[in-house]
Structures are given as C-alpha cells and as structure tokens.
Structure 1
Amino acid sequence: MKITFAGNDVNLLGKEIKVSDKAPEFKATKNDLSVFDSKENEGNVVVYSVAPSLDTSVCALQAKRFNQEASKLENVKIVTITEDLPFAQARFCSNEGIENTIMVSDYKDREFGEKYGFLMEENKLLARGVVIVDKDGIVRYVQYVPEVTNEVDFDKALEEVKKLI
C-alpha cells in the first residue's frame, strides 16, 4: 500500500490491519493522563478515527465531524487517536466542544500506531484513516487515506458503522 504525506512517500511501521482481523488490544493516554485501554470498549462497535495532529485543519475537521456523528449513533464508541500531547487534545476538545468522542494520544508508547500499522516512520505521526471494529472485536472496515493531508471518506465509514448497529 502506498501512502504519501504532502506528496512524499512514507513507510508505515507495524502490520497493516485488515478486515476480519481480530482487533489488537492497545493502551494510549487520555486527556487527563490516565490510561486508555482498548478493552474498555469491548462489546461495543468502535470507530477509531486516526489522524496526525489536531493542529491541522483536516484533522480538526475529522475530529469535529465524528464528534457530531457520535451523537446520532447508539451503542457506538468513537475514539479519536492522534500523536498530539494530551494537554493539546484537552484544549482542542474544550475549544471545539468535543464531548461525544473519546480523545486519546498515542504519543507515549505508540502502541496503536504500531499494532494497527498507522505509524509513519519518517515523522512518527499517525497516518490518516478509520478502523471500525464490531461488538465481537473483529475489524469490519479499514480506510488508510492514500494522501495523509486529504480527508477520510466519512460517508463510507458511517455507512459501514450503520451496518453493525
């Protein structure tokens, strides 16, 4: 799979996640610096909205759009995951009224990035994409955006979520 960042090829570390894989467990950091454990969401449909940094317009749009959609989806957990520090994420959420999604940072151990194959080797940021996991912990949809600076296909991702609820 070819991924570019601002037109330049990047290498993704870890194993590419695929539909029908068992979703790997991982830990990340919540905005209050507590540990986020992916096992917390077992039994729910989970959308991992993956982005490099909330300090960019495309990433901010992605976080805001999924936050907006989360209020319309029952029994679905939306987890936005970036490499931003938890303090920056908390500030972003406060400024933008993000209340319907779980915001976590992969900055510390980069478990998500490596276990799901989203960590860009060159800049240690996450590539952009979406991973949807069903109630049984099986990956049902994966979207790696070929050019990281472009938006995810929101409509397709939401269509896939609705099939699982």
Structure 2
Amino acid sequence: MAAAVAAAAAAAGLRPSATRRMSLAAAPLSPFATPSRVMAPSCRPRFPRLVVVSAQSNFSRVVQTAWKVGRDAVDAGTTLVPGSVPRPVARIGVTFVALSVALFLLKSIVSTAFFVLAMMGLIYLAFLAMNPKEGSRVDEGTNSSEDPVEEARRIMEKYK
C-alpha cells in the first residue's frame, strides 16, 4: 500500500514529506490495525487542546433557540398567506394565531395536570375515609414505654 501511495505521489510530483503524510492518512483508522509508520514525536502536538463543555443548560441559549424557531415558524406561516395581504399584516396575523394556539395548548396541559392531581387527592381521601385502619400505620399493640430487653425476651420465647 505504501508503495502504491509513493508511486502515485511521484506521478503527481509531490514531495516525500507529502508522501509520508498521505500514507499515514491512508492508513486504516481501526483500533486493531497498526500503522506501518509512526509519526515522529516532533510532528505530534505537545499539548492537545481540550474542549470543556458545560454540563448545565444555558438559559439564554434556550431562549435564543426558541426565538429562532418561533421566527422561522412565523416566516413559514407568512408565506402561506396570499400575496394580496401586505407582509407586515400577514406576519402580525400569523404571530397572533400562533400565540393563541400555543397558549390554548399550554392552558389545556396545565388544567389537565391540575385536574388529575385533584382527582388523585380526592380518591386518596375517599380511600382513607372508607378504610381508617389503612391510613395510620402505627402499631396500636406496642407500648413505647416497654423495655426493649423484655420485648426481645418475649419474642425469643415465642419462637422456642
């Protein structure tokens, strides 16, 4: 393979250093394959550049992305409006319709979530009202003033 690269480089009139770079670039990038030539240490970067990415989301980026998506959606909706309507009026109309739909969907989701939470609370209260022993998990038979040693002795005698 190296001979073929060298012959192709000689035919193209490239220098030997370019030939070496081509043979290294043509080497397979598999972790199991070993390249036939290793670059000299002077060719490698001494300190690799590390890119540090924040793990937290950036709120301003989110707002900017939402603004761009909204603007693109309004532009796409404006192109659907007939040409007889002036573009500024069409843009305002499309924006108003998009905001109305978005607020309606948000209101529907929030009201559905509150309804589900309220129903869960009512069902739980009805369950507690119908089963008073299920609601309180306190053992009524044990007295906290008893000696733990006496209680352990009683349990041991129970299982003799």
TM-score of Structure 1 vs Structure 2, range by shorter chain: under 0.3
Whose helix fraction is larger, Structure 1's or Structure 2's? 2
Relative to the length of structure 1, the TM-score reads 0.18
Instruction: Determine which structure has greater relative contact order: mean sequence separation of CA pairs < 8 Å that are 6+ residues apart, divided by chain length.
Output: 1
- The TM-score normalised by the length of structure 2 is 0.19
